[in-house]
């Protein structure tokens, strides 16, 4: 016979008495409340269900009933113990919406259910393995004495899925001609890259390769580019500024020429206008001066005009004796 320790037996009996006492103290005159929380997690053919007991713990709970189906949660049911708050559905259809319900019950009946819906996952289509090839057409655009922009073409990149977790690794060095060149590496997901903080007036070698998962290509054909010094770059910048300002200089010259012509035209019109506005008296005096005598100025004296200067006819014979000839 197997001997049982008396202390263990006494403890077990006390536990049964305590559980029976607690169950008698809980209220069984009404059904349990709705479970306080329901969580679902789905895979291709399974749904994991977890929940929490009702908030009101004064009501007796004998167990839980889990139901599921599509489109209603009554196609299948499963009764569980009161201590169980987790259950997993298996053998489900992929890409299907299921409705799940959980309710507590006691000797008085079933409590209200709590509902949740979830879709099982769709079967994944394995991605066909495409051969990786090194990028081609590596081009280096010098943007300043200390920076360049790299461009390249990936012939194995799917245009329908441009972001397929592939990475481009770029290496560059200014000591590529030495026996032990030191390279720097930069990763990017684009087919272009800006590299800064380079050394001016230095020749660099650039190369790029593709990395996808555990696969990677060899390095592409290298592109060797010399960078200009600071002075030549400043001269080029000044030349660009001058070339950009040439159209403005031409426009300013054209505007100045038009403004000068308009000003001359305005002056000429003004002179003609002033001449056309001269009085007839002035014209008459000008004619009399041209004939050799000046009109007498008159002034009013005693209501009558008196001439201050006597008019004399032009002397056509005075001081011309030596030039006269007598014709017989």
Residues 266-297 have pLDDT tens digits of 888 778 877 776 655 555 555 455 454 444 44
Residue 85: per-residue pLDDT: 94
Q: Check residue 270 and give its pLDDT.
A: 79
The whole-model pTM stands at 0.38
Across 155-176, average pLDDT = 85
Question: Do residues 172 and 100 both lie within one domain?
Answer: no
Query: Which of 70-84, 115-129, 160-174, 237-251 has the lowest average pLDDT?
Result: 237-251
Model confidence band, residue 238 (pLDDT cutoffs 50, 70, 90): low
Half-sphere exposure of 312 (CA within 13 A, CB side): 5
**Residue 166 included in any domain:** yes
pLDDT for 163: 63
- Of 191-195, 292-296, 303-307, where does the model show the most confidence? 191-195
**How much of the chain, in percent, has pLDDT values that exceed 70?**
69
Show the domain range for 225: 136-231
Residue 246 within any structural domain of the chain: no
The domain that contains 14 carries what CATH number? 2.60.40.10
Nearest to 208 by CA among 194, 220, 196, 223: 220
Q: How confident is the model at residue 188 (pLDDT cuts 50, 70, 90)?
A: very high
Q: What is the pLDDT of residue 22?
A: 53
Q: What is the pLDDT of residue 302?
A: 47
Distance CA 197, CA 204 (A): 13
| Nearest one of 149, 104, 138, 100 to 120, comparing CA atoms | 100
**DSSP-based three-state secondary structure for 257:** helix
Q: Which pLDDT score, from 0 to 100, does residue 11 have?
A: 57
Pick the last residue of a domain from 210, 231, 252. Answer: 231
How many CA atoms does the CB half-sphere of 198 hold within 13 Å? 30
Closest CA to 104 of 27, 41, 25, 36: 36
Query: Do residues 173 and 184 touch, judged by C-beta distance below 8 A?
Result: yes
Asked which of 200, 231, 262 is the last residue of a domain, the reply is 231
The answer as to whether 291 is a domain residue is: no
Domain contains 302: no
What does the pLDDT read at residue 131?
A: 81
> Comparing 109 with 159, which gets the higher pLDDT?
109
Instruction: Give the pLDDT band of residue 298 (cuts 50, 70, 90).
Output: very low
Model confidence pLDDT, tens digit, residues 58-117: 899 999 999 999 888 889 999 999 999 999 999 999 999 999 999 999 999 999 999 999
Q: How many domains does the chain have?
A: 2
Q: Name which of 21, 17, 24, 102 is nearest 63 in CA terms.
A: 102
Q: Higher-confidence residue: 239 or 324?
A: 239
Same structural domain for residues 148 and 185? yes
Whole-number Å distance between alpha carbons of 249 and 231? 26
Which of 204, 231, 258 is the C-terminal boundary of a domain?
231
- Across the chain, mean pLDDT equals 80
Q: Using alpha carbons only, what angle is made at residue 190 by residues 189 and 194, rounded to the nearest 5 degrees?
A: 110
In the predicted structure, residue 19 carries a pLDDT above the cut 70 = no
Shared-domain flag, residues 82 and 143: no
């Amino acid at each position: 016979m197997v001997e049982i320790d008396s202390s263990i037996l006494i403890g077990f009996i006390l536990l049964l008495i305590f559980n029976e006492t607690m169950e008698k103290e809980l209220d069984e005159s009404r059904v349990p409340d709705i479970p306080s929380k329901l969580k679902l997690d789905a895979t291709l053919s399974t749904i994991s269900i977890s929940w929490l007991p009702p908030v009101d713990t004064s009501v007796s709970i004998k167990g839980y009933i889990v139901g599921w189906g599509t489109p209603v949660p009554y196609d299948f049911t499963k009764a569980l113990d009161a201590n169980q708050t987790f259950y997993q559905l298996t053998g489900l259809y992929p890409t299907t919406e299921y409705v799940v319900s959980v309710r507590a019950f006691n000797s008085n009946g079933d409590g209200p259910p709590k509902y949740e819906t979830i879709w099982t996952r769709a079967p994944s289509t394995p991605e066909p393995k495409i051969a990786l090839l090194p990028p081609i057409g590596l081009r280096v655009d010098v943007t300043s004495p200390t920076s360049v922009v790299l461009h390249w073409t990936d012939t194995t990149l799917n245009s329908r899925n441009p972001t397929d977790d592939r990475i481009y690794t770029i290496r560059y060095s200014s000591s590529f001609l030495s026996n032990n060149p030191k390279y720097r590496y930069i990763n990017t997901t684009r087919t272009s890259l800006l590299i800064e903080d380079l050394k001016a007036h230095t020749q660099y070698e650039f190369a790029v390769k593709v990395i996808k998962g555990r696969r990677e290509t060899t390095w592409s054909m290298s592109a060797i580019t010399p960078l200009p010094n600071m002075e030549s770059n400043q001269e080029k910048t000044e030349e660009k500024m001058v070339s950009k300002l040439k159209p403005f200089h031409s426009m300013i010259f054209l505007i100045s020429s038009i403004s000068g012509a308009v000003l001359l035209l305005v002056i000429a019109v003004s002179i003609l206008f002033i001449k056309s506005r001269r009085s007839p008296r002035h014209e008459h005096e000008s004619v009399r001066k041209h004939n050799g005598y000046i009109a007498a100025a008159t002034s009013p004296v005693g209501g009558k005009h008196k001439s201050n200067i006597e008019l004399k006819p032009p002397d056509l014979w005075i001081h011309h004796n030596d030039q006269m000839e007598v014709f017989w």
